[in-house]
A = this chain, B = another copy of it.
Amino acid sequence: MSEPQWLSEEERELWMKLVRLSMLMPSAVEAQLKREAGMNQFEYLVLAMLSEVPDMTRLMSDLAFQTNASLSRLSHVVTRLEQQGWVRRSACPTDGRATNVILTDVGYEKLKDTAPGHVTAVRNIIFDPLTPELVSTLNRSLQPILDSVEKNR
């Protein structure tokens, strides 16, 4: 175990910011979702992904990949969403092993009711303090980190 190359002062600073950001940002946003819709960000994300395709249907494995969750975690969450009546499972016709998750009408309504408050919270917390220039700067400069992090999974 040889000495690593330690971080420079600026790198250390950025690292701390990234850590704080990834701890604080989700909880800031989740607070609102929890309060107003009784759901967490992960559940919202699942509903949102379903609503984005025309038939409101996705494979478990597809959802799991998109949301970066284990199939096991997703399965438990879908069970909960199913109990709420927001989603239902159905066997995939073309692959006997696979199961589709389908957004129900109730789930769609729920999402439609939830989205505005959620967006408002995101706007208040993230974008109000940002200039348009900063938005595009961040879009560009975060990309390398994101690529690297996606490669490493």
Which of A53-61, A83-91, A128-136 is the interface stretch? A128-136
How many chain copies does the complex carry?
2
Q: Does A96 contact B (CB under 8 A)?
A: no
The residue from B7, B19, B24, B128 contacting A150, defined by CB atoms under 8 A apart: B24
Chain A residue total in the interface (Cβ 8 A)? 61
- State whether B138 touches A4 (Cβ < 8 A): no
The residue from B7, B45, B126, B141 contacting A127, defined by CB atoms under 8 A apart: B7
The residue from B13, B119, B126, B148 contacting A128, defined by CB atoms under 8 A apart: B148
- State whether B10 touches A139 (Cβ < 8 A): yes
- State whether B119 touches A21 (Cβ < 8 A): no
The residue from B119, B125, B141, B153 contacting A28, defined by CB atoms under 8 A apart: B153
- Complex Cα–Cα for A125 and B24 (A): 21
- Complex Cα–Cα for A87 and B124 (A): 40
- Complex Cα–Cα for A135 and B142 (A): 10
Interface residues of A (CB under 8 A from B): 1-7, 10-11, 13-15, 17-28, 41, 45, 67-68, 113, 116-117, 119-120, 122-130, 132, 134-139, 141-150, 152-153
Q: Can you list 16 contacts pairing A with B, beta carbon distance less than 8 Å?
A: A4-B120, A5-B120, A15-B122, A15-B127, A17-B139, A19-B41, A20-B68, A20-B149, A21-B146, A22-B25, A23-B67, A25-B145, A28-B149, A124-B152, A125-B152, A126-B149
